[in-house]
Amino acid sequence: MKIKKPFICILLAVQVFFVCDALAKKAKGPKDLLKLIEEKGIDIDPNQRKWLEEKAREQEQIARESKEHRKWYVKQRFKLVGRWKKVLTEKIGEADKIEIQTTPYKPNKNNQILHVIEGNDKVQSFLNPLSISEWKSGGYCACHGAALLVFYKGEKRLETLSFHHSSSLRWYNGPWPGDAVMTQKSQSEVPKWFASEGYTAFEDHRQEKISEHKRQKDEENQFGSYFPKKVQLIQFKTFVKNPIRKRLNELDEKYPQKSVSKLYSSMMALGCRGKDVSYVLKHWQEFAIEYPGRYNAEDFANAFEELQDNRQGVYGAACLFFKNEMEGLTDTVNNSLSKEEKISWTIKLVPIVLDSGSELNKVRLLDSIKTINDSRVSNLFLDVARGKVGTEVDYSNMWINQEPGIRATAYLCLASQNQESVKSEIKERIHKFDVQQDKAAMEVALALLGEEGLLKEDTTVPLTFE
């Protein structure tokens, strides 16, 4: 069936209304406020009145410009139906050179020339794979684009386009009412064309996008696969192949109460938040925590035992026990465990986090358990402080910021527990710490243990500890 242009224009009108309506709506604050002041006879400071009048004029100017832009936008949308590529071809059809330049946001005053493609046949070759999806076009990308495409005829500069995310083009001072979105086929072929002409950046970026999308999809599938099919269908609204369904069935037979298989799958899923997998949707993560429900120590121990040889699963067990949240681990454990069970599992799982957890989680977790009054926890702090347990943080990691490392943090936790026996050890080792925040933490530890004259006004105190 052939669709006539009037019908297309009607559909465009609907689209244009929603796109442009927002441009015409601007805040009325200053003007309305001035009107209210006049009506109520309120006496205000002359400078305040002048400021409000200036803002009101600015508002009126914005409204006029928005109205003008809306008229132009509507006119161009109808005028260019089926002609987005044609008008570009008319303007650059005689060009004999394409310069690829840096975009305006670069720090250099003049745009840098990155690559040059010469010949009118090359320009025609560029236009061949280019096709535009007009229905998706008309918006504006917030960035300046990856590079500028500047078309010349001899020394005369004809037109300038910017290339955005391997998917759209912006025509500077051109007739397009917004960015032109390339069709899916063009989004593949145009970057390849530039690569064939010696400029590979667009194609490299496209391949990076493909790889990133595949990585995210694989990680989503990996996460979902650790749950039974019924849960996948309910929670994820999609079918994901389950490589461990057989394993879960075996656990259900071995542990008839079935809570062990739930804990097992949740531990595996939460392990994805470790260093193996970085992309997990928030609602999946929350669901992984809630899925097991209330568990007892025996079920948790059985699930943990089944995961002994699985690094990801063991880390996931620690995440589940310490309630893994988006911002890091906390010390809120499951209320169904007794105090003794909580301490026992804390001693067993903290070293796992100190080896496999994120930099900030390591420090936070140590700080969170310092209030546990038990000699086993104090001994664990000693082992951490002396380098027997855990991997020291990477101080260059942005997330650790100004926090001390795990060794200094452990000493500080011991001091907060009033462990006088470590005072001499801290005094002996304080000079071995090279990082500023570590030294500050050690000085605070000594001060907590009664050492005077160490803290100065400019001493950096880690914000984690209160």
CB 56 within 8 A of CB 103: no
**Residue 329: which residues within 8 A CB-CB, separation 6 or more?**
318, 319, 322, 323, 353, 357, 361, 364, 365, 368
CB contact burial 261-297 (16+ within 10 A = b; e otherwise):
bbbbbbbbbbbbbbeebeebeeebbebbeebbeebeb
Q: CA angle, 363 as apex, 360 and 367 as ends, to 5°?
A: 135
| Number of Cβ within a 10 Å radius of residue 149 | 21
Taking Cα atoms as reference points, which of 45, 51, 52, 50 lies closest to residue 30?
Answer: 52
Give the chain's end-to-end CA distance (angstroms, integer). 73
Query: CA-to-CA distance for 398 and 245, rounded, in angstroms?
Result: 39
Locate tokens 């040889």: which residue?
309
Say if CB 452 and CB 433 are below 8 A apart: no
Residue 294 contacts residue 257 (beta carbons within 8 Å)? no
Please, what is the angle between helix 245-254 and helix 259-270, to 10°?
Answer: 140
Which backbone phi and psi does 157 adopt, to 5 degrees? -85, 120
Q: What is the pLDDT of residue 256?
A: 82
3-state secondary structure of 101: strand
The angle formed by the CA atoms of residues 37, 41 and 42, to the nearest 5 degrees, is 60
Q: Are 175 and 80 in contact (CB under 8 A)?
A: yes
E-state strands within 343-437: none
Q: Which single residue is written with the structure tokens 């005689």?
A: 94
CB neighbours of residue 449 within 10 Å:
20
Task: State which residues of the chain have pLDDT below 70.
Answer: 1-28, 105-109, 230, 233-241, 272-287, 289, 324-336, 398-401, 453-466
Spatial contact of 138 and 74, defined as CB atoms under 8 Å apart: no
Neighbours of 199 (CB within 10 A): 19
Cα dihedral across residues 125, 196, 141, 159: positive or negative: negative
Q: CA angle, corner 307, sides to 304 and 308, nearest 5?
A: 90
Determine the Cα–Cα distance for residues 87 and 22; give it in Å rounded to an integer: 28
How confident is the model at residue 50, as a pLDDT? 87
CB neighbourhood size of 298 (10 A) = 13
